[in-house]
Amino acid sequence: MPKNNQSAILNKTTELIDKIFNLDNIYDSDKVSLTYMELYTLTFDCFNGNTYAYSTNRLRVPKEPAVTGEDLYVHLENYLRNKLDNVSKDIDNISNENILQYYKELHYNYKRLFKVLNGSYSYLSRRWIQHELDSGRRDVYKIDVVAEYFTYEINQAKTYLPEEKSTLTTLIVLLETIFLPTDIFNIIVGRLQLLVSDENKHQELAVLFEPIHQLTKLKNELLKLIETHVYQKAIESITDDLINNPLFYIETIVNIHGKYQKLIQETFVGDQHFVASFDKGYAKFANQNPVSKTTGITMTLAEILARYCDTLLRKGCENDDWNEKLNIIMIIFNYLNDKDVFMKFYQKMLRKRLIDQLSVSDSYEETLISEFKKKCGYEYTSKLEQMIKDIHLSDDLTNEYRTYQEDIHGNETSKIYSNNFLEENNFFSVVVLTSNSWLFSHPSDIILPIEFKTIYDNFTTFYLSKHTGRKLILLHQYSKGELQINFTTKKYRLQVSTYQMLILLLFNQELIWTVEQIQDKTQIRSELLFEILLGLLKSKLLIADDPLTLNSRIKLAENFISDKTRLNLNLPSKPNEQKDQSHLVTAAVDERQMVIQAALVRIMKKERTLKHSLLIQQVIQQLTSNFKPDISLIKKYIEILIEKEYFQRDSNDKDTLHYLA
């Protein structure tokens, strides 16, 4: 019974569609609507019979479903496929001259036909597709079928209407409105959203990718869904504790990157639009500053990445997997918006690594810098390279100076002097740094003790004889030395900063000094002096009354004793570091206003006359290797430059700017 019923209904359907197809006069709206209604009723009955066992007078439908929605679709699909196959055979037989004419007619008829068919099946579309989607069907023929006709039509158009590109666009829009009316479109998008958010179902997405790929409107929706999904998932996978550990943080977000990149690759066979969507979602996530809920600390990606590099370059990595780490750094670096802020942090940390000789490997340093250079150009890394070069040159310079000193004193016969001298000379090393690459703040002047001043003056004479016109500034805050204690029974060696040395050497002259006297003799500014004195008191090498005031008397601890013979008193003072960080960000952001204005002027000077929008585009292009400039910021600086009479708006067209020389 049901079998018969089914074929009866399907036959009836074929008959009806045929009827529509073969209508001589498509404009005969009476005939069309008659068949249309019949077809509509038929599908309506089939489906309602299926669900409600609803009986009508025209066709008795049993409770068991005779024809399912799917059957109707498969039927329609086959029918249309046959039809179109025939059409393309026909086309092959038609001479070139007539092809356009034939195609035009055919296209027109089909357009008409699809409209009718779509109307007839609209009931089914609404009900059945909704139903199927609700019950979680794997793939819906609808999309498949639709996509097939799209491709068919588009290919036809491409083959036969190569000159008329404009028609093609119109055709696509038309096809979209015919086959994807808003309600159906929304249903499909809803379904896609489910598939995207459930990562186990990405296999299904992969199946759907092929058809959707051809439907621009749907594809755009899917692209948006992917972008949001990647962003959401990535944000969710960041936990609070990660933020305090740059090593874990960077590696976690790189893992997230890898995971989704693979997923996109597999699901969408590396389609460039989907890759771009993924990139966009990921970049948005990565550049959002993570905030620790427990500590309230906000960190920028720029700072975390710089810290990550610093940690690796100080401690090295296990199993020599530097290349892998390098890869990780560059993945994140590529997504980083504020590359200028990053550079500020990186430079500061490199400075510390180089001066305190904390770097684990010169080649690591150099390979990383060359990666940055590859990505952002020569200018971006020029300061870093100069810094590394300064350190290398300084090694040579120190050696040269030692030889020079030996040559001078070699002639002198006094053996005692010579011994003393040799030790001193071998102990001396110097680092000469180019001031604008290192950005040191100049220390305030102090009075150098005679022991130290001789060495410094000798070196200055030597250096300036090689490089005339340069100026040497001693950076006391980074200099250090070694002192030997002779007043105790055990001989101790002390590693000290310049400031500590200055103070301790005073005790060669007197055993007791007041703080005021020390300041008078050294000229160290009082805030710093107190800090250093407190450090020395803590080491128990000096003794003073508590609390420490300007009048306090300080004396040497004559009974000083320690387990170790070498003592490092030159410990960094920690608390200053935190303050510095926010300062670096503001410094970078402040620099941007100059950078943007310079770029604007540079471009306009070259172009003389340029559209406002193109100017903005070119500025963004030039600056993205440094940071992502805000359009409103660029606009603001354009206005400032108009006000400063560097640029002028065209008097007839506000969108055009002229450069005023």
Partner 1 sequence: TLSSSDTKQTSSSLLSSSSNSTSNIIDRRFQLFKKYSDDDELMSVDGILRLCNDLSLEPDSYEVLLFCFVCRAKQMYSLTKDEFFLGLKTLGIHGDNFSELRTRLFNYNIVSYENEFYNWTYHYGLVDGQRCLTTQNAISLWRLFYLKGIERPKILDQWLNYLEQDINNEIPKTITCDTWTIFPQFEKFIELNGYGAYDDNEAWPCLFDGFVEHQLEQQQQKNSSSN
Window contacting partner 1 (CB under 8 A); options: 104-112, 367-375, 404-412, 634-642 = 634-642
User: Is 526 or 613 the residue whose CB approaches partner 1 more closely?
Assistant: 613
Amino acid at 582: S
8 Å CB contact between 601 and 641: yes
Given candidates 21, 193, 642, 658, which one binds partner 1 under the rule CB under 8 A? 642
Closest residue by Cα to residue 566 from 501, 490, 499, 503 = 490
In whole angstroms, give the CA distance from residue 660 to residue 604: 9
Task: Please compute, for residue 495, the number of CA atoms within 13 A of its CA located in the half-sphere on the CB side.
Answer: 11
Angle of the 576-607 helix axis to the 339-355 helix axis, nearest 10: 130
Closest residue by Cα to residue 505 from 553, 556, 547 = 556
In whole angstroms, give the CA distance from residue 647 to residue 479: 49
| Alpha-carbon distance values, 603 to 338, 368, 608, 629, 650 (Å) | 22, 31, 8, 16, 17
Given candidates 4, 649, 658, 661, which one binds partner 1 under the rule CB under 8 A? 649
Given candidates 103, 612, 629, 659, which one binds partner 1 under the rule CB under 8 A? 612
- Minimum Å distance from CB 551 to partner 1? 51
630 binds partner 1 (CB under 8 A): no
In whole angstroms, give the CA distance from residue 13 to residue 40: 10
DSSP characters over 32-83:
HHHHHHHHHHHHHHHHHHHHH----SS----SS-SS-HHHHHHHHHHHHHHH
**HEC-encoded secondary structure of 610-633:** EEHHHHHHHHHHHHCCCCCCCHHH
Window contacting partner 1 (CB under 8 A); options: 83-91, 252-260, 266-274, 628-636 = 628-636
User: Is 134 or 655 the residue whose CB approaches partner 1 more closely?
Assistant: 655
**Which residues within the stretch 60-79 sit at the binding site for partner 1 (CB under 8 A)?**
none
Window contacting partner 1 (CB under 8 A); options: 210-218, 226-234, 284-292, 609-617 = 609-617
User: Is 8 or 631 the residue whose CB approaches partner 1 more closely?
Assistant: 631
Window contacting partner 1 (CB under 8 A); options: 332-340, 371-379, 405-413, 651-659 = 651-659
Contacts with partner 1 by CB under 8 A: the residue count is 14
Tokens describing residue 283: 């970049």
Window contacting partner 1 (CB under 8 A); options: 25-33, 37-45, 131-139, 641-649 = 641-649
628 binds partner 1 (CB under 8 A): no
652 binds partner 1 (CB under 8 A): no
Given candidates 616, 618, 628, 660, which one binds partner 1 under the rule CB under 8 A? 616
DSSP characters over 237-248:
T--GGGGG-HHH
Window contacting partner 1 (CB under 8 A); options: 120-128, 179-187, 347-355, 638-646 = 638-646
520 binds partner 1 (CB under 8 A): no
* Residue in the block written with tokens 């696509």: 172
First-residue to last-residue Cα distance in the chain: 92
Window contacting partner 1 (CB under 8 A); options: 81-89, 102-110, 310-318, 632-640 = 632-640
Question: Cβ–Cβ contacts within 10 Å for residue 646, how many?
Answer: 18
User: Is 375 or 649 the residue whose CB approaches partner 1 more closely?
Assistant: 649
Closest residue by Cα to residue 35 from 20, 23, 47 = 20
635 binds partner 1 (CB under 8 A): yes
643 binds partner 1 (CB under 8 A): yes
Q: Which residues pair with 483 in a beta bridge?
A: 494
User: Is 556 or 657 the residue whose CB approaches partner 1 more closely?
Assistant: 657
Tokens describing residue 399: 């050696």
User: Is 169 or 609 the residue whose CB approaches partner 1 more closely?
Assistant: 609
Tokens describing residue 630: 């805000």
Phi and psi angles of residue 659, each rounded to the nearest 5 degrees, phi first: -90, 130
Given candidates 27, 574, 632, 661, which one binds partner 1 under the rule CB under 8 A? 632
Window contacting partner 1 (CB under 8 A); options: 278-286, 334-342, 396-404, 610-618 = 610-618
Tokens describing residue 270: 């590396």
- Minimum Å distance from CB 647 to partner 1? 10
- Minimum Å distance from CB 639 to partner 1? 6
8 Å CB contact between 195 and 201: yes
631 binds partner 1 (CB under 8 A): yes
User: Is 251 or 607 the residue whose CB approaches partner 1 more closely?
Assistant: 607
Question: Largest Cα–Cα distance in the chain?
Answer: 132
Given candidates 86, 613, 621, 624, which one binds partner 1 under the rule CB under 8 A? 613
- Minimum Å distance from CB 319 to partner 1? 50
User: Is 101 or 613 the residue whose CB approaches partner 1 more closely?
Assistant: 613
Window contacting partner 1 (CB under 8 A); options: 206-214, 396-404, 519-527, 636-644 = 636-644
Q: Is the dihedral of CA 653, 656, 660, 661 positive or negative?
A: negative
User: Is 415 or 654 the residue whose CB approaches partner 1 more closely?
Assistant: 654
- Minimum Å distance from CB 587 to partner 1? 25
In whole angstroms, give the CA distance from residue 235 to residue 167: 44
Burial class (CB in 10 A: 0-12, 13-18, 19+), 393: middle
User: Is 453 or 635 the residue whose CB approaches partner 1 more closely?
Assistant: 635
**What's the angle, vertex CA 191, arms to CA 187 and CA 197, rounded to 5?**
145
Given candidates 442, 470, 606, 636, which one binds partner 1 under the rule CB under 8 A? 636
- Minimum Å distance from CB 658 to partner 1? 13
Window contacting partner 1 (CB under 8 A); options: 156-164, 247-255, 280-288, 650-658 = 650-658
527 binds partner 1 (CB under 8 A): no
User: Is 182 or 632 the residue whose CB approaches partner 1 more closely?
Assistant: 632
660 binds partner 1 (CB under 8 A): no
Phi and psi angles of residue 542, each rounded to the nearest 5 degrees, phi first: -120, 155
User: Is 39 or 604 the residue whose CB approaches partner 1 more closely?
Assistant: 604
467 binds partner 1 (CB under 8 A): no
- Minimum Å distance from CB 171 to partner 1? 29
| Alpha-carbon distance values, 345 to 243, 323, 348, 546 (Å) | 17, 22, 5, 40
User: Is 205 or 641 the residue whose CB approaches partner 1 more closely?
Assistant: 641
Residues of this chain that bind partner 1 (CB under 8 A): 612-613, 616, 631-632, 635-636, 639, 642-643, 649, 654-655, 657
